Amino acid sequence: MTSLEEKARHIRRLILTALAEAGSGHTGGSLDLVDIFTVLYFDHLRHDPKHPDWQGRDKVVLSIGHTAPVLYATLAAAGYFPEEEMLTLRKLGSRLQGHPSYEFHLPGLETCSGSLGQGLGVALGMALAAKMDNKPNRVFCIMGDGEQQEGSVWESAMAAAHHKVDNLCAIIDRNRLQIDGGTEKVMAIDPLRDKWTAFGWHAIEIDGHDMSQIKMALEMADQEKDKPTVIIADTIMGKGVKSIEDNNQWHGKVPTKEQLPAFLKELS
């Protein structure tokens, strides 16, 4: 097992433990994004946990705000705040709210999120501002595939291509499930790659759990000129806990404290 794979397993443990302690939250999507977040924060991003407001940092915008546990757990594992704070998830007064809230000044958090479809517009603004100021910052926007049903996503996509915002990279969690069932049943979004290409983006499809593919796609995005990049990452909801994988009932369900040991054992 590589160091990145070990880090990913540790992050999944933090997520499950925090969700069981909270008694509510979103397990499935949080778990399936772990490999992407691990590569981003421990292999790719320019960032400094000791100086979270460093002006030269790359920025991550979590548009799919209900998967906040994966962002929090990754930031904690990276040293932005103590891992013990994960046990305050969703508690009154905690910096770790159910959806990211900027008012609590959590180190490493770039913006509030939760209303699906809005994150790409926020990320576009950040990326465009950096380009206008001739700064090297890159911006990464994490979206869900159900979120592709939101019209505001496509308005932002059109604007990003028009302005040639090549320091913007969108990553879509393509687990093919949303709270009401399969995305293609609720409202079909395929052919997703063709749609993004038609909107003027460089589109890449990968296995969202293959770290070598994730690394390669991020490097390709860095090298792309005059157009933004979207990485469509095929993932499995609940990845890492076999008993709940690919089951949309775990979109907004958490393990009980009694179930937690068995879930953690599945990760080992």
Q: What is the DSSP string of 158-208?
A: HHHHHTT-TTEEEEEEE-SEETTEEHHHHH---SHHHHHHHTT-EEEEEET
Max Cα–Cα distance, the chain, nearest Å: 53
Q: Which residues pair with 182 in a beta bridge?
A: 177
pLDDT at 72: 98
Q: 3-267: what fold?
A: Rossmann fold (3.40.50)
Residue 230: pLDDT band (50, 70, 90) is very high
> What 3-state DSSP class applies to 232?
strand
Q: What is the pLDDT of residues 124-183, one digit of tens each?
A: 999 999 999 999 999 999 999 999 999 999 999 999 999 999 999 999 999 999 989 999
- In this predicted structure, what is the pLDDT of residue 2? 86
Q: How would residue 29 be classed by pLDDT, with cut points 50, 70 and 90? A: very high
pLDDT attached to residue 35: 98
Let me know: does 69 contact 19? Beta carbons within 8 Å: yes
Q: Model confidence over 191-205: pLDDT tens digits?
A: 999 999 999 999 999
Mean pLDDT (the chain) is 97
Q: What is the pLDDT of residue 17?
A: 98
- Confidence band (pLDDT; 50, 70, 90) for 114? confident
| Four-residue CA torsion sign, 28, 31, 36, 41 | positive
pLDDT (0 to 100) of residue 103: 87
Task: pLDDT band for 1, please (50, 70, 90 cuts).
Answer: low
d(CA 59, CA 45): 8
- pLDDT confidence of 102, banded at 50, 70, 90? confident
Task: Tell me what the mean pLDDT of segment 53-73 comes to.
Answer: 97
Average pLDDT over residues 204-208: 98
Copy the structure tokens of residue 222: 């860095």
The token pair that represents 139 in the structure block: 């911006």
